[in-house]
Amino acid sequence: QKEVEQDPGPLSVPEGAIVSLNCTYSNSAFQYFMWYRQYSRKGPELLMYTYSSGNKEDGRFTAQVDKSSKYISLFIRDSQPSDSATYLCAMSLNRDDKIIFGKGTRLHILP
Amino acid sequence: NAGVTQTPKFRVLKTGQSMTLLCAQDMNHEYMYWYRQDPGMGLRLIHYSVGEGTTAKGEVPDGYNVSRLKKQNFLLGLESAAPSQTSVYFCASSQGDSLFSWRDTEAFFGQGTRLTVV
């Protein structure tokens, strides 16, 4: 079982829809969770991070962590064509531990 | 613009050839990293550096060497390229109170180098 699992997609949704992106993980000791956005032929950029369980909201983006289910989610409200990108989840055990990345989910927002 | 610059952006090598990928950052960051990104594999850490003159192995260091003679530059070398090293290589830098404290102070990635080994 891989440490971090993420459906590669592609996921196509109409503009304005709510998007749900997810990752599951096997190591219950992970504490730090991140979401990165990567546009085509660009490097990843940090969208959001959360520590331990709970929700975090930033504009149209909400990150959720469910440690009991070992499941994290990123929701995008009022999706825009500019949200079309690959979204990578990432996590680590402790502050100084290496970061484990998911494979990424390709998202297409259809105008 | 401030950031992380990688050169070259594209390269095709023949098996057995050598090359060096250059990463330069102008943010005075202490920590620098080299990742490779392959379809279906996610980002994997090759080598990293915690400061000028230091380097350390990551998850997949075999076949690569690195050097950090100047704080702003982190070089990745392939001594004898193999088709398995066909990938997109990303350099990143960060500044925090610890190596992977990306949660607090963001790590910045370069635009990547697409390397094909034939």
- pLDDT tens digits, residue range B32-54? 999 999 987 889 999 999 999 99
Residue B4 backbone zone (phi > 0: left; psi -120 to 50: alpha; other: beta): beta
Contact B43 A42 (CB under 8 A): no
Average pLDDT score, chain B: 92
Residue type, B77: G
Structure confidence at residue B40 (pLDDT): 79
Average pLDDT score, chain A: 92
Of residues B95 and A25, more confidence is placed in A25
Residue type, B79: E
Length of chain B: 118
- Residue B96, pLDDT above cutoff 90: no
Chain A positions in Cβ-Cβ contact with residue B42 (cut-off 8 Å): 4, 6, 88, 101-104
Q: Percentage of residues in chain A with pLDDT exceeding 90?
A: 75
Contact A92 B58 (CB under 8 A): no
A39 touches chain B (CB under 8 A): no
CB atoms within 10 A of CB A39: 13
Distance from CA of A63 to the nearest CA of B (A): 14
- Residue B105, pLDDT above cutoff 80: no
What are the two backbone dihedrals, phi and then psi, of residue A20, each rounded to the nearest 5 degrees? -125, 120
For residues B66 and A69, give the distance between their C-alpha atoms in angstroms, rounded to a whole number: 40
Q: What is the pLDDT of residues A38-74, one digit of tens each?
A: 999 999 998 988 888 888 999 999 999 999 999 999 9
Contact A49 B103 (CB under 8 A): yes
Give the torsion sign (CA, B16, B4, A101, B10).
negative
Distance from CA of B61 to the nearest CA of A (A): 14
Distance from CA of B10 to the nearest CA of A (A): 11
Structure confidence at residue A96 (pLDDT): 75
> Residue B83, SS3?
helix
- Residue B1, pLDDT above cutoff 80: no
For residues A38 and A86, the answer to whether their CB atoms sit within 8 Å is yes
A42 touches chain B (CB under 8 A): yes
The confidence band for B11, taking pLDDT boundaries of 50, 70 and 90, is: very high
Contact A101 B42 (CB under 8 A): yes
Structure confidence at residue B107 (pLDDT): 83
Q: In terms of C-beta density within 10 A (0-12 exposed, 13-18 middle, 19 or more buried), how is residue A7 classed? A: middle
How are beta strands B113-117 and B87-94 bridged, if at all?
A: antiparallel
Mutation target vs B (from A51, A96, A97, A105; most B CBs, 10 A cutoff): A96
Q: What is the pLDDT of residues B12-33, one digit of tens each?
A: 999 999 999 999 999 999 999 9
